[in-house]
Amino acid sequence: MNEKELKAFLTDWRIATLIILIVLSVIAIYPHFDQDGNIATNLQYGLDLQQGSWIQLELKGEVVGFTTDRPVNDFITNLSQSLDTEVDQIDATHLEIRKAYTQPDLEVQFTNAGGKLTSYQQGVSKATAEDAKMILENKINSLGTKDATVNTLTGFNNVARYIRIEMAGVDMNEAQSLVGKQGKFEIRVQTTGNDTEHVLFGNDITSVQTPAQNPAGSDNWGVAFTLSDAGAAAFQQAAIQSGATNDPTHHYLTMLLDNQTVYSAPLNTALATELKTTPTRQMIASTGTGTYGSQEATNLEIHLRAGALPVDVSIAGSGSTSAPLGERYKVMVLLAGILALITVGCVIYYRYREPSIVLPMVLINASEILILLGFIALIRFQMDLPTIAGLIAVMGTGIDQLVVITDEILHEGKVPSPNLYLKRLARALGIIVVAAATVIIAMVPLALMDLSTLKGFALITILGVLVGVIVTRPAYGKIIMEILSK
C-alpha cells in the first residue's frame, strides 16, 4: 500500500472513527504507574475485585389494599393513631404503613378503624424506597465514603422490600454503622427544667448549606438550613407554646441523631422575636468560633444532611471481600480475558489458515473491548464479575459476527469483484443488525429490572453490541476489503 492509498485508507470514516475511539479510550483508561510503582488505571472496581462490603437492608413497612365506608381521610387518621405510625395513601385503594405489622394484626386494626384489609405486601411504595435511597446516598457521600452504590429492589407491583448498598474500601463494621440503622434526626425544644418536647424530624429539613462564617468575615461559624412550610409552622408553634419566644436564653434547641445529642444551644433572640408573629423557614445553627467552631459546623452539616429514613430498617444480608481476595480476582479476570482472546485467535486460524485474515479479526475484537473499557472508565462504572462476563460475551459474539462477514465475502472461496463485495458486505451487515437487535431486546429487561448483580452484564452486552454494529463491524469490512484486494 503506497502513501496515497494509506492516506485514503486512514481517512476513511470507518477507520478514522475506530482510531479516534481507541485513542480516546486509552486516554480515559489512563494506564500509569502509581506512587508505589504499580500499574494503575482510571477503571473503578466493584466489590468482586477489591476490598469492600455490601449490606442488604429490609424496609420495615407494608403496602396494603383497603376498603372503607367512612370518609377516607377520617379512616386514615384513625388508623394512623391506632397504629402509632405514619399511614400514607398511595392510590384510591392502597395504603402504605410505615411500621412492621403482621397481616392478622392489621386486619384487627382495620376493622376497629372502620375498614377492611383486602391485600397485604411487605415493603414500601416505590416513591418511599427512592426517598430512602436518596437519604442513604446523601449520608454515605457526606461521610466521604467513595465508590458506593445504592440500589432499590422493586418488584413488578411497585413494592420495594429491600435496598442493597455496596461500599468499596469499607469494612463490615463500618458499613453497618453507616447504613445499618434508620438514623432518626430530631429537633426538640426545652420547656421547663430539663424537659424537652418534639419539634420536627429530619424530613422537614429541605436543604442544608455548607458551613460558613456568620456574619461573613467574622470568626463565628454556623450552618444555615431551610425548613419546609410544615416544618416552619411546627417550629413556630413549639417555640410559642414552650415559652421560648418570650425567654429564648433559657430555652435550648437540641438536635439529636439516633437519640444522641449532636447540637444544643439557646434560641436566638432575634429569631424568637420574629417567631412571635410569623413562621420562619431560614435557620442558622451557630457552632462557635475558630477551628473548633469550624469542625463542629462540618459535623453538624453531615447530621443535617443525613436526615431520617422514612421507615425503620434491619439488615437482611451482608457480605465482604478482603483485599487479598480482590487482588486475586483481578489477576484471574485478566488471565481469563487474555486466554479467551488467544483461544479465539487459535480457533479462527484453524478455520482460515490465513494470518492476514486472522490478525485483523483478533485486533478488531480487542479494540472493541478497549473501547468498552474506555467508556466504563469515562462514566466511572464499577467493574464487577458480571461486567467482566459481559465483556467476554461481547468478545464471543463479536468474533461470531466477524466470521459472518468473512464467510459471506469469501463465498465459494473466491475473492469477489468490488460491486459484488459491497453487496455481500451489505447482506452480512444486515444479518448482524438483526442478530444485534435480538440480543439488545433480550438484555433490556435485565438492564431495567432491579437485579443489581445482573445490570452490569446486561448494560455491557448492549453497549458492546452497539459499538460493534456502529463502529467495529463497518471498520472490519473496510479492512478486509483492502486485504482481499491485494
Last residue of a domain, one of 280, 308, 336: 308
Co-location of 43 and 58 in the same domain? no
Co-location of 299 and 355 in the same domain? no
324 CB-near residues (< 8 Å, 6+ apart): none
Co-location of 349 and 480 in the same domain? yes
Look at residue 110 in the predicted model and tell me its pLDDT: 92
Residue of 467, 350, 480, 451 whose CA lies nearest to 397: 467
Give dist(CA 467, CA 368) in Å, integer.
7
Q: State the pLDDT confidence band at 302, using cuts at 50, 70 and 90.
A: low
Rounded average pLDDT over 26-55: 82
Last residue of a domain, one of 175, 207, 228: 175
Look at residue 472 in the predicted model and tell me its pLDDT: 92
Give dist(CA 154, CA 128) in Å, integer.
11
Asked whether residue 384 is assigned to any structural domain, the reply reads: yes
Give dist(CA 419, CA 118) in Å, integer.
70
For residue 89, what are the domain limits? 52-175
- Sign of the Cα torsion 17, 20, 26, 27 reads negative
Rounded average pLDDT over 70-84: 87
Long-range (24+ apart) CB contacts under 8 A made by 20-24 are: 21/371, 21/374, 21/471, 22/367, 22/370, 22/371, 24/374
Instruction: Kindly tell me if the per-residue pLDDT of 359 is higher than 70.
Output: yes
Instruction: Kindly tell me if the per-residue pLDDT of 418 is higher than 80.
Output: no
Torsion angle of C-alpha atoms 139, 141, 144, 148, degrees rounded to 10: 110
Q: State the pLDDT confidence band at 486, using cuts at 50, 70 and 90.
A: low
Co-location of 243 and 225 in the same domain? yes
Asked whether residue 315 is assigned to any structural domain, the reply reads: no
Co-location of 237 and 140 in the same domain? no
Co-location of 365 and 481 in the same domain? yes
Look at residue 450 in the predicted model and tell me its pLDDT: 61
Higher pLDDT, 368 or 81: 368
Instruction: Kindly tell me if the per-residue pLDDT of 428 is higher than 80.
Output: yes
Cis-peptide into 324, omega within 30 deg: no
Q: What is the CATH number of the domain that holds 289?
A: 3.30.1360.200
Alpha helices in 143-248 (DSSP H): 172-179, 229-242
Asked whether residue 158 is assigned to any structural domain, the reply reads: yes
Co-location of 122 and 202 in the same domain? no
Asked whether residue 163 is assigned to any structural domain, the reply reads: yes
How many separate domains does the chain show? 3
Look at residue 407 in the predicted model and tell me its pLDDT: 84
Look at residue 147 in the predicted model and tell me its pLDDT: 63
Are 123 and 310 spatial neighbours (Cβ–Cβ below 8 Å)? no
Rounded average pLDDT over 347-366: 87
For 56-76, the pLDDT digits (tens) are 889 989 999 999 999 998 898
Where does residue 478 rank: exposed (0-12), middle (13-18), buried (19+ CB within 10 A)?
middle
Look at residue 214 in the predicted model and tell me its pLDDT: 75
Are 15 and 478 spatial neighbours (Cβ–Cβ below 8 Å)? yes
Furthest C-alpha separation in the chain: 99
Instruction: Kindly tell me if the per-residue pLDDT of 211 is higher than 90.
Output: no
Rounded average pLDDT over 117-122: 93
430 CB-near residues (< 8 Å, 6+ apart): none
Residue of 312, 362, 405 whose CA lies nearest to 123: 312
Co-location of 171 and 208 in the same domain? no
Q: State the pLDDT confidence band at 40, using cuts at 50, 70 and 90.
A: confident
* Average pLDDT value over all residues in the chain: 83
- Give the other-Cβ count within 10 Å of 116's Cβ: 13
For 174-202, the pLDDT digits (tens) are 677 667 665 667 788 888 888 888 888 77
Rounded average pLDDT over 25-54: 83
Co-location of 339 and 478 in the same domain? yes
Instruction: Kindly tell me if the per-residue pLDDT of 119 is higher than 90.
Output: yes
Give dist(CA 302, CA 321) in Å, integer.
28
What percentage of residues in the chain have a pLDDT greater than 70? Answer: 91
Q: State the pLDDT confidence band at 117, using cuts at 50, 70 and 90.
A: very high
Rounded average pLDDT over 364-375: 92
Q: State the pLDDT confidence band at 120, using cuts at 50, 70 and 90.
A: very high
Co-location of 118 and 198 in the same domain? no
Last residue of a domain, one of 248, 277, 308: 308
User: Which helix or strand (DSSP H or E) is residue 144 part of?
Assistant: none
37 CB-near residues (< 8 Å, 6+ apart): none
Half-sphere CA count of 125, side-chain side, radius 13 A: 16
Instruction: Kindly tell me if the per-residue pLDDT of 440 is higher than 80.
Output: yes
